[in-house]
Homo-oligomer: A and B are copies of this chain.
């Protein structure tokens, strides 16, 4: 690749390379360069489409104005949309975002982190995946600035911006119970990740607070890699149990999509045969024949706040640690409407 150099500009302007350097680095005053010649140099740089060597520059300044964003799964619209928010917000402060998606795989996440460290990003925003806690420790020990987004590790003290998943899931349970549903299943990922455990805990607490005895076979944990098959089995089991469920909470968007497809195949009607509440966010919840009740996570605020905190840390490494849980909002639609004949108490 042949780039326009300071020398190219100097040759065309008929001045020294040093002089061009002074002007293009904004130091014409210190170097006492006349305005006419400075203007000429800037015009030539523009005309020749001169690209400053950010790399060399940033190796000196230690700043590249680039943020690395690691997301858990680019094909999940929640993360794709949050990436867009992060980009927009970073752009507003003059930062460019480069993105890596780890596909819920800790090895890929590690590859991406090392690649981006070597590409000299100023800091990271990370949606962690299972088994990546040691990577977060690595960043922390080396004082590499980062903010965790959407998912965090309760045992590792870090900055994070996430949803209050316990509360969201609790709200989903109480919403269904107050609509007359008592046999409620939860389909979640089989995962040690805190956000997933919190969704399970909130659901169980809602049952307990409503004096509904939790049944072991109401909770189905399926693996991310094989969810298509496992969600089908989970739904079949939930519907054939002694305490057959009349409502299902899906703990993620991907689970809900696979679940709804299978519910259609079974020709079950929502909500009369089965009421639904889901985490996640997708146009499909609006366009389904029976609009789906969902927990609206504060996607915009999560993304913006993560950028804001990271930029503060970049300016001031001694900035105090920030840990924020934001509330999701339950958007009630027809998929969980009050059971016919039920008088809410």
Contacts and interface: CB of A to CB of B under 8 A. Distances in A.
Contacts of A119: 55, 66, 98, 119-120
A100 B103 contact: no
B96 A2 contact: no
Nearest to A59: B55
Given A103-B84, A118-B55, A1 B287 contact: no
B96 A111 contact: yes
A54 interface: yes
A276 to B, nearest CB: 12
Contacts of A96: 100, 111-112, 115
B99 A101 contact: yes
B98 A54 contact: no
A103 B118 contact: no
A236 interface: no
Given A74-B80, A264-B287, A287-B288, A66 B101 contact: no
Interface stretch (A37-45, A136-144, A173-181): A136-144
A97 interface: yes
A24 interface: no
Contacts of A49: 138
B75 A103 contact: no
A136 to B, nearest CB: 14
A114 interface: yes
A271 interface: no
Contacts of A84: 74-75, 101, 103
B97 A100 contact: yes
B284 A287 contact: yes
Contacts of A283: 257, 261, 282, 284
Interface of A: 1-3, 49, 51, 53-55, 66, 74-75, 77, 80-81, 83-84, 87-88, 91, 96-101, 103, 108, 111-112, 114-120, 138, 142-144, 257, 260-261, 264, 282-284, 286-289
17 contacts: A1-B142, A51-B117, A53-B118, A54-B115, A55-B119, A66-B115, A66-B119, A74-B80, A74-B83, A77-B77, A87-B103, A96-B111, A96-B112, A98-B119, A119-B120, A261-B287, A283-B284
**Ranked 5 nearest A-B pairs via Cβ:** A289-B289, A54-B118, A99-B99, A119-B119, A284-B284
Given A98-B100, A98-B115, 14 more contacts: A49-B138, A75-B84, A77-B80, A80-B80, A84-B101, A96-B100, A96-B111, A96-B115, A98-B112, A98-B119, A257-B283, A257-B287, A264-B287, A289-B289
